[in-house]
Structure 1
Amino acid sequence: MPFVTGADAVPELSDAPLHPALAQLQADQWAAGKRPPQAIGHEAARAGMLATALAAPAGDDLPRVEDLAAPGPEGDIPVRVYSPDDPRATILYLHGGGWVIGGLDEFDRVARRLARVARARVVSVDYRRAPEHVYPAAHDDAQAALDWVRTTCADLPIVVAGDSAGGNLAAYLALEARDAGEPLAGQVLAYPVTDHDPSRASHLQFAKGTYRLTAAAMAWFWDRYVPDVARRTEPRVAPLRARDLGGLAPAIVVVAGHDPLRDEVLAYARALAEAGTPVSVRAYPEMEHAFLSSIGVVEDASRVYEEIAADLDVLLGG
């Protein structure tokens, strides 16, 4: 989809069954006794996610990968920098995991694929997680990481990117960058959290979700990161509620059909377009939440990187 603006620019997502490979993977996970994070607690959920990541095939090979640190509000923030030959941009990447789970190793394959296909230097951020560090700790770390990128990687255009909770952080950074008069080249929002409204149709339709995300798990993530319910509608963590969504960096929005977050993702894309922010929506009706991590499982998990790269071609001039 080309970048568009204006009312009615973002269509509805067509219905489609869950991709057979993902349906089989889900069945295998349940048969193996996989339990959701709210049933086992954040420490066990983190350990399980890390074990799965470390058991997966190695990610794409790159000329240089460095573990560094960016100064943060409460100490150094670990970052991992992935550098292909001749990068054309720097992408600040913020991983998913409900602000609670996930980290550099868990999303290493995602960052490597993004760096290789998008031909960009990718800076992956190990921001502080809940429940040890509640809102707005992850947002503060994301901003500190962007400040560090601006001082150390100023040689290239800067794009912010993230998936799920990381997409929420990236959307926040785009708003802050506009308000600070420090423009970004783009924002990549893969199935981002954009609002706290569990009454949306997709939350109800996909309440049981897939093993990647259920409505109950999403509620549990909110409880861990933003325990003060009154703050869950602040635009910082619910960007759909921002007063002004115009004048932001062009947005590449990835939406999955089988995702409790589907409707808030589409609502945010529409709100951006209606406010005059250019939007390219990449829709995958057969996919589930977090499918960027399904590299090697389904073709769409590879195609999405190609489509993101194609949109970046438009924004960065090829």
Structure 2
Amino acid sequence: MAEEANQPNAGEIQPDVQAPTSASTTALDELRTRRKEYLKYQNETQAAALKGRASFLADVVTWEEFVALSDGVGLTYRVYAKSHEVSQALKGLRENGSSDEVTNLGITGSFIYIHGGGWRVGNLDSEDLTCRRLCHTLNLVVFSINYRKVPEHPYPIPITDAKAGVLAVNERYISKLTGLPVIICGSSSGGHIAGLITQAAVEGSLNIRLDRTALRGPVTVHPDHVPTRFKKSYNSYDTNDSRGEYQGMASNMRNGVFGMASIPQEIIETGQAFPLWGEFKGHPRTYIEVSDDDVLLDDGLCYAKALEEAGVEVKVKIRKVCWPAYSQDCGIYLGFYNVEYHRETMWANLRTIVCL
């Protein structure tokens, strides 16, 4: 696997400062154990894939860079380049600001990726294969942004962390890759963060140009605080919760297991907290991918409707496959389900993000 200049404890927040939390010590210990198990499984499965049927992705060059935050903590983001030649040109671009060496390398755009995990688990490694595939297949420069997790770091810390990472990659790279589209993408809770970042960019409170947004199974609203105009069409949270793959997920979300509990009640029905409560005029062209049996199906469909009503060009793909198979590293290599049938369709759809 081609790697360059990794920070210590790659993919983790540096340093790992723990904020005060009301959660019990036992609950936190259990969560931290689950985090380790989740990442261990992800790392082992992805490592096996990179040695096997996804071996061609091992040639993608990655490196990590550090961002100092205003509260004295730092985070890392990971850069993906298709080849050593591209990586060297990008590093030269950061140092001297010249895009001459990058111009003729066939780069199709800058792609900012926000990983999912219920705001509670995951890091730069957990969706590494997705980022490698995007970089390799579409010749994108991919920037995977890390952020601190709840409950140790409650709202709005995951969002402000991600915004800081986005501003850093924009200043160091994206703003210098002139003439290329800028795409932001997030999966599940990462889709929630990507949606909020898009809103901030449109409003002008975040200084970055975004040309397209891609949301994969996004969280766009609290299930108990849905805008009135969408309440009749917002049903998947409860109807799909009874399915085996999702048993209890809706109640877990409502009870704050996946991080919603830290959002203050006074802003829960505003665009500060959830994208579906925001303003939609002026948004970039958007691609939304959802699963027909996901509890978050209507999060995506209602958000698409809101964008369309505001005159935004939207492409929606409803996949006939369970959530992990399309959202967790696109289900291509992780072995959750047999999704070989969906492979070419999946990447044809992702190409539309660049071509929209």
TM over 0.5: yes
Match of 1:206 in 2: 240
Match of 1:96 in 2: 116
Match of 2:284 in 1: 249
Match of 1:14 in 2: none
CA RMSD across the alignment: 2.4
Distance 1:301 1:73 in 2: 43
CA contact (8 A) 1:113 1:305 kept: no
Gaps (5+ residues) in structure 2?
1-26, 51-56, 84-104, 225-230
Match of 2:49 in 1: 58
Structure-to-structure mapping, 1:112-123, within 5 angstroms: 112-123=132-143
Q: Size of the alignment, in residue pairs?
A: 277
Distance 1:106 1:163 in 2: 12
Match of 2:92 in 1: none
C-alpha displacement at 1:211, in angstroms? 4.3
Match of 1:4 in 2: none
Secondary structure of 1:130's counterpart equals: coil
Which amino acid letter does the alignment assign opposite residue 161 of structure 2? Answer: D
Which amino acid letter does the alignment assign opposite residue 212 of structure 2? Answer: G
CA contact (8 A) 1:134 1:224 kept: no
Does 1:271 find its partner at 2:271?
no
Which amino acid letter does the alignment assign opposite residue 197 of structure 2? Answer: L
Which amino acid letter does the alignment assign opposite residue 267 of structure 2? Answer: R
1:76 to 59, 74, 77: 74
Distance 2:164 2:241 in 1: 35
Distance 1:300 1:215 in 2: 29
Which amino acid letter does the alignment assign opposite residue 147 of structure 2? Answer: Y
CA contact (8 A) 2:263 2:273 kept: no
C-alpha displacement at 1:182, in angstroms? 4.1
C-alpha displacement at 1:88, in angstroms? 1.6
Larger Rg: 2
CA contact (8 A) 2:112 2:145 kept: yes
1:136 to 156, 169, 172: 156
Match of 1:312 in 2: 353
Match of 2:273 in 1: 237
Distance 1:303 1:237 in 2: 35
Does 1:216 find its partner at 2:236?
no
C-alpha displacement at 1:120, in angstroms? 0.7
Give CA deviations for 1:254-299 in whole Å, capped at 9, x if unaligned: 0111111111210001111110111111110233256232223413
Q: Which moved more, 1:83-92 or 1:204-213?
A: 204-213
Distance 2:40 2:118 in 1: 18
Which amino acid letter does the alignment assign opposite residue 237 of structure 1? Answer: A
Distance 1:110 1:216, change over 3 A: farther
Does 1:191 find its partner at 2:223?
no
Match of 2:170 in 1: 150
Distance 1:241 1:116, change over 3 A: same
C-alpha displacement at 1:223, in angstroms? 4.7
Distance 1:274 1:292 in 2: 26
Match of 1:8 in 2: none
CA contact (8 A) 2:115 2:144 kept: yes
CA contact (8 A) 1:292 1:304 kept: no
Gaps (5+ residues) in structure 1?
1-37
Runs of 4+ in 1 over 6 A off after TM superposition: none
TM-score (norm 1): 0.79
Distance 1:190 1:45, change over 3 A: same
Considering fraction of residues, name the structure with more helix.
Answer: 2
Distance 1:183 1:54, change over 3 A: closer
C-alpha displacement at 1:158, in angstroms? 1.8
